[in-house]
Amino acid sequence: MDYSSIKAAAAKHRDWTARALSEMIKVPGFSGTEGPRVQLIKKLAEEAGMEDIRIDALGSLLGRVGTGPKKLVFDAHIDTVGVGDPAAWKTPPHSGLIEDGLVKGRGASDQLGGAASMLAAARILKESGYSGEYTVWFAFTVMEEDCDGLCWKHLIEEDKFVPDFFVSTEPTSCRLYRGHRGRMEIQIEIRGVSCHGSAPERGDSAAYKAARAALAIEKLNERLLPDDDKFLGKGTITVSQIKVQGPSQCAVPDQAMLYCDRRLTWGEDDKLAIGQVEDALREAGVDNFKVFMPEYAAPAYTGKVYRQELYFPTWKFPMEHPLVKGGVAAHSSLFGKAPTVDKWTFSTNGVAVAGRHGIPSIGFGPGDENQAHAPNEINRIDDLEICAAFYAALPLGLEATK
């Protein structure tokens, strides 16, 4: 197996890869309902020649090629968000239409395209008889859209399935990514004192406290700073929901809730972020409040409930890291040029693998970030071919740069 034969094999399987993506799009699979799509992928994985195909307790599917002593794992989450307004779609969102060099439909980029390229890479490795120092695992994981990293927290902490190297195939426009900001969800509960609306001075309005709290969060966002090397950029916080209620429409409200999306740059964590919000509210004169991080607990399609606090740690690895260098080497040898190295704007399953557990991780995927969650989602068949070749070649790049 060499780079030229890998590139030729990816081109040979180009149409098969596009059809695999189309078939996955045709079977809806939202978080917690991925079962039928997983069964389809199981058939495709068998067709690609994967071995030890299995489904874990949450419903993620894993299969491998090779028997080396080290685990190189490629990951694609195979759940998608909903379609939104069907009228916004020019073609049906689950059509899987293939035309003009594109595959169209919900999940085409986010991120069934990565899954399709993984299947093709497994086929290339199997057909070439790969027998290098890596067991190459392919993970088709669930529930990422609801709770990124939950599936990998379960695999690592419960199943003790620990990669040596991890590659997320989330969309990167075929660029090499080496990190992204973390995130967390923050809930603020505020209490006031209710009274009749005809005499508001007798009460203590939770609505006005919530308004002051929201403006305090806006000011806090302006004060947040980037990481030292300015690679990931600044942390951010925004109020995503406000709910206010009281005994009636003719009463001063006595309860308020604000929900915040907090993006965490390098050096920021959950304790720091919660403390900043508490300080900001006190400075704004808000009293009788509680700030906390909610918990995720929803059943997988298997019925299993696996809980996690809504905290998703930041991660990044330096250019000098062996995994990053191996990725650059594989790309350069395949395509005659080094890849653009960058980072995601959004969050991925890397929050668990790299963020929680420090496992070396990179990203390389077909399609564009701006396609994620958007109507008329597409992926380029050219990207699928490029990524299939890169995934199959990465073991060679790692072996060449160790």
**Largest separation between any pair of C-alpha atoms in the chain:** 81
Q: What gap in Å lies between CA 373 and CA 289, rounded to an integer?
A: 34
- Cα three-residue angle 224-222-189, rounded to 5 degrees: 85
Active site residue 144: yes
- Cα three-residue angle 163-165-167, rounded to 5 degrees: 105
| Residue 287, Cβ density class (10 Å: 0-12 exposed, 13-18 middle, ≥19 buried) | exposed
Token match 């806006």: residue? 218
Q: Are 152 and 349 in contact (CB under 8 A)?
A: yes
Q: What gap in Å lies between CA 190 and CA 206, rounded to an integer?
A: 6
Q: How far is CA 200 from CA 194, 203, 326, in A?
A: 9, 6, 66
Q: What gap in Å lies between CA 294 and CA 233, rounded to an integer?
A: 25
Q: What gap in Å lies between CA 259 and CA 246, rounded to an integer?
A: 18
Name the catalytic one among 56, 75, 144, 268: 144
Active site residue 79: yes
Burial 366-398 (b: 16+ CB within 10 A, else e): bbbbebbbbeebbbbbebbbbbbbbbbbbbbbb
Q: How far is CA 226 from CA 233, 263, 266, 267, 269, in A?
A: 5, 11, 8, 9, 14
Residue at 77: amino acid letter: H
Q: What gap in Å lies between CA 275 and CA 293, rounded to an integer?
A: 12
Neighbours of 299 (CB within 10 A): 12
Q: What gap in Å lies between CA 387 and CA 374, rounded to an integer?
A: 22
Token match 């199981």: residue? 42
Name the catalytic one among 34, 56, 75, 79: 79
**Catalytic site positions:** 79, 144
